[in-house]
């Protein structure tokens, strides 16, 4: 497989960044994931981190080098992440459980499979046209689906998430056969709540990702103003299953051994994570900026 990937996460006007994102891959499968820790509940950033770590741990365990059943993996792994949050709260005697949304996508054998819980979204575009978009688990989208007017009072209220007392609703979709040039974007609600779908599709569909992603994030921050939410975007361009072309600057998995595994998701064991552990937002942003600046220079040279 080969793909180009670009990601940005900014804390906006909030005290800390409770969004987390990352990807991991073997020779024949790749997983992209994004979680948005929920404010109003304890340790939102920890909830997002634990969700991603759970997904990454199961991917490493089961992708040998591909998943036997991507849809089953998504269903079982997202539910396990929910159970890990409940266990985390119980083990530390928390009065309330940390909660998070999540969206995760598997690309394998030339097809995409995805799942989500909450209002973090996945967009899939082909030749600047929207192929698919997740539907938020919010009262607003529920009312629209029922043909009723949007409820302005409850427009930001979710009816499911990971870490909630009840069993979470997990929507699973796919497979969708991918074509070279298809673009997939995972994002937190800090983006789509401030930028309309039409603008998102125009920017991600028509421009180079190293230019489009940071510009899109900056637009959301400007629209959100001084009290902007965290804004996180992970976008990729699918370059196919074959050996990379000589001019390709994308990431290729073909050089990996059949049992090898690579990840950008922090790999601390769940039982070793302490509640006081937090990732420094400034360090995260500096690291992401350095990586993205390098990718952008490469893209400019290619252009």
Radius of gyration of the chain (CA): 18
User: 232: alpha, beta or left, given left = phi > 0 and alpha = psi -120 to 50?
Assistant: beta
275 DSSP 8-state letter: T
pLDDT for res 156: 67
Residues pairing with 263 in the sheet: 24
Distance, in Å, from the CA atom of 152 to the CA atom of 143, rounded to the nearest integer, reads 11
Domains and CATH numbers, the chain: 5-302 (3.60.40.10)
pLDDT for res 290: 46
pLDDT tens-digit profile of 260-302?
989 999 754 333 333 333 344 554 454 445 444 544 554 454 4
More confident residue, 73 or 266: 73
- pLDDT category at 217 given cuts 50, 70, 90 is very high
Whether 17 shows a pLDDT value over 90: the answer reads yes
Candidates 24, 6, 32, 49; CA nearest to 216 is: 6
Tally of CB atoms within 10 A around 92: 12
Burial of 203 (0-12, 13-18, 19+ CB in 10 A): buried
pLDDT tens-digit profile of 184-195?
999 999 999 999
Least confident of 39-43, 105-109, 131-135, 199-203: 39-43
Candidates 187, 41, 26, 40; CA nearest to 107 is: 26
């Amino acid at each position: 497989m080969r793909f180009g990937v670009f990601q940005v996460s900014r804390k906006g006007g909030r005290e800390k960044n409770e969004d987390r994102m990352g990807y991991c891959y073997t020779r024949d499968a790749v997983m992209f994931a994004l979680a948005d820790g929920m404010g109003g509940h304890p340790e939102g950033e920890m909830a997002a981190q634990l969700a991603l770590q759970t997904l990454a741990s199961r991917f490493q365990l089961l992708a040998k080098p591909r998943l036997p059943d991507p849809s089953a993996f998504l269903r079982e792994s997202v539910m396990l992440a929910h159970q890990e949050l409940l266990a985390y709260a119980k083990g530390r005697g928390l009065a309330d459980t940390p909660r998070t949304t999540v969206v995760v996508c598997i690309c394998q054998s030339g097809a995409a499979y995805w799942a989500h819980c909450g209002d973090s979204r996945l967009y899939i575009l082909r030749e600047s046209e929207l192929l698919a978009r997740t539907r938020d688990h919010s009262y607003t989208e529920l009312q629209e689906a029922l043909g009723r007017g949007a409820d302005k009072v409850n427009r930001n209220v979710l009816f499911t998430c990971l870490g909630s007392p009840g069993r979470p609703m997990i929507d699973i979709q796919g497979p969708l056969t991918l074509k070279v040039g298809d673009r997939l974007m995972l994002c937190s609600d800090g983006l789509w709540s401030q930028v309309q779908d039409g603008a998102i599709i125009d920017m991600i569909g028509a421009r180079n990702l190293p230019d489009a992603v940071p510009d899109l994030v900056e637009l959301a921050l400007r629209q959100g103003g001084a009290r902007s939410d965290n804004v996180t975007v992970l976008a990729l361009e699918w370059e196919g299953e074959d050996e990379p072309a000589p001019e390709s600057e994308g990431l290729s998995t073909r050089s990996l051994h059949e049992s090898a595994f690579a990840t950008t998701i922090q790999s601390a064991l769940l039982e070793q994570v302490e509640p006081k552990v937090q990732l420094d937002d400034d360090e995260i942003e500096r690291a992401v900026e350095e990586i993205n600046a390098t990718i952008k220079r490469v893209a400019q040279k290619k252009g």
